[in-house]
């Protein structure tokens, strides 16, 4: 990714978070993107790209990914208490 694109991405994320959460400052992020192209489509596959915050350490990246996985599982998987 070019420096200009990375800067634009960081600035856009910071602006969005500031709009959504007054006074918030972005301290880390993980952006996971699924993509395809003609070669991948022909092989019935997709690709994945992960982008993280500038100078973000591994433990922050891992922690955010773990938290996101837990939140998605909790919100998307049946909890089993609907039968009660």
Mean pLDDT, the chain, rounded, equals: 88
Output DSSP code: residue 54: T
Both tokens of residue 25?
């400052």
Distance CA 35, CA 45 (A): 9
Distance, CA of 77 to chain centre:
19
Helix and strand numbers, DSSP H then E, in the chain: 3, 2
Q: What is the pLDDT of residue 77?
A: 78
Domain ranges of the chain: 3-76
**Residue pLDDT, tens place only, 6-15:** 999 999 999 9
- Intra-chain end-to-end CA distance of the chain, in Å: 51
Torsional sign, CA 74, 80, 83, 84: negative
- Averaged pLDDT, 23-39: 91
């Amino acid at each position: 990714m070019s420096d200009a694109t990375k800067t634009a991405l960081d600035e856009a994320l910071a602006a969005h978070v500031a709009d959504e959460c007054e006074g918030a400052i972005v301290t880390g992020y993980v952006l996971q993107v699924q993509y395809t192209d003609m070669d991948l489509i022909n092989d019935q596959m997709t690709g994945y790209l992960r982008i993280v915050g500038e100078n973000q350490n591994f433990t922050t990246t891992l922690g955010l990914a773990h938290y996101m996985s837990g939140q998605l599982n909790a919100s998307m998987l049946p909890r089993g208490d609907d039968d009660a």
